[in-house]
């Protein structure tokens, strides 16, 4: 659906904000000074007879649930498992983790990029690192798709890969590095830790031709978005949780202006709409210009439930975001996640793990690339 983690965003484009950007954001968003009180008022209206609002910032004891084990697959499909590299490269996951931490402290936006890369890779046929392939030798890169606009930091995937290759040559797949980086990136953003299965192999082909049909976009109907997630085994509750990745990052104005021009979307908070018009002053922004809005002005680099609180206050940035509140199927989950950050994290973990296990391929049809950008030479 943010970098631009688009749904066709995990749409958001993100990085550690500079001091000047922070000052600019604070200056332009003074109307949010009383945001927390307004949010609590709104939530009290939603839950007039409950104590959820008083408890929404308090930790709760929740039981972490992981995705169901991958079942036996037909030929060409891989069966993932925990600690897949325990014998062939026992330090693989720790190497990836340390690289993710190092890169985050140098380039904070990388953590958001890893989540978005997983989404854009796994939603299109398979979690097989096909999105990393460059256009060469007859391959047309998925990076050229309009739905992958604004994605970046691919070069740092190879930084991680190089570190793993030094320890264990030709052993750990790029697809597993994409998955593990997303897992560890979520932790760097304040999200939950997850035990993730590995054993994916890398695709030998691009799936560019399938992207438009398989990857949901920021202005699609909620019915369509739910159907696309259902196709990879994620239910409505999980869809609401995964879209919570929009709590971090930023969105290019190209993906916003349809809600601002020629008329403002009536579901937008008027003050918020005025702020967005200052950020996106032109109805036809240049995709190459640095014109964007952060998805969450209060905790812009924290994977938390502020996203859902914003939706309840009609400050959803993208059309697909605000539809979560207006749709009768997804609305109850929005309200519950707005009131309980632990519940959001639990459901986010569950859904991300399901997504990370979508249709993995094995060595019969895939490989372990030496360089994540290119298919291995025969």
Catalytic residues: 120
User: What contacts 24+ positions apart, CB below 8 Å, involve 176-179?
Assistant: 176/84, 176/92, 176/200, 177/96, 177/129, 177/372, 178/114, 178/117, 178/118, 178/121, 178/127, 178/129, 178/131, 178/132, 179/118, 179/127, 179/356
Distance CA 2, CA 7 (A): 8
Q: Write out the two tokens for 214.
A: 């398989």
| Number of neighbouring beta carbons within 10 Å of residue 130 | 26
Cβ 346 vs Cβ 61: under 8 Å: no
Distance CA 165, CA 124 (A): 26
Cβ 44 vs Cβ 136: under 8 Å: no
Q: Write out the two tokens for 205.
A: 């082909």
Closest Cα to residue 206, out of 126, 261, 105? 126
Q: Is 187 helix (H, G, I), strand (E, B) or coil?
A: helix
Cβ 1 vs Cβ 320: under 8 Å: yes
């Amino acid at each position: 659906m943010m970098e631009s983690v688009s749904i066709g965003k995990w749409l958001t484009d993100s990085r550690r904000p500079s001091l000047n950007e922070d000052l600019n954001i604070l200056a332009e968003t003074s109307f949010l000074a009383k945001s927390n009180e307004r949010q609590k008022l709104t939530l009290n209206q939603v839950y007039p007879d409950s104590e959820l609002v008083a408890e929404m910032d308090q930790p709760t004891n929740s039981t972490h649930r992981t995705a169901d084990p991958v079942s036996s697959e037909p030929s060409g499909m891989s069966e993932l498992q925990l600690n897949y590299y325990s014998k062939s490269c026992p330090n693989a996951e720790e190497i990836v983790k340390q690289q993710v931490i190092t890169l985050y402290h140098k380039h904070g936006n990388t953590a958001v990029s890893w989540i978005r890369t997983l989404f854009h890779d796994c939603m299109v046929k398979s979690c097989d690192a096909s999105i990393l392939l460059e256009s060469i030798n007859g391959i047309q890169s998925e990076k050229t798709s309009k739905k992958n606009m604004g994605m970046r930091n691919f070069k740092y995937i190879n930084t991680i890969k190089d570190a793993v290759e030094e320890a264990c040559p030709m052993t750990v797949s790029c697809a597993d590095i994409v998955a593990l980086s997303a897992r560890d990136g979520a932790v760097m953003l304040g999200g939950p830790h997850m035990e993730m299965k590995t054993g994916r192999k890398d695709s030998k082909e691009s799936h560019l031709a399938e992207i438009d049909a398989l990857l949901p976009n920021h202005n699609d109907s909620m019915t369509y978005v739910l159907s696309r997630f259902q196709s990879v085994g994620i239910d409505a509750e999980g869809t609401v949780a995964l879209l919570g990745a929009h709590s971090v990052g930023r969105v290019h104005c190209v993906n916003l202006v349809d809600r601002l021009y020629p008329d403002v979307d009536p579901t937008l908070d008027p003050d918020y709409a005025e702020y967005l018009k200052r950020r996106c002053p032109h109805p036809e922004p240049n995709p190459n210009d640095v014109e964007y809005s952060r998805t969450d002005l209060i905790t812009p680099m924290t994977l938390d439930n502020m996203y859902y609180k914003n939706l309840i206050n009609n400050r959803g940035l993208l059309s697909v975001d605000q539809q979560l509140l207006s749709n009768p199927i997804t609305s109850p989950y929005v309200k519950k996640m707005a009131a309980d950050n632990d519940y959001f994290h639990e459901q986010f973990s569950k859904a991300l793990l399901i997504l990370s296990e979508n249709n993995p391929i094995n060595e019969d049809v895939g490989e372990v690339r030496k360089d994540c950008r290119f298919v291995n030479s025969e």
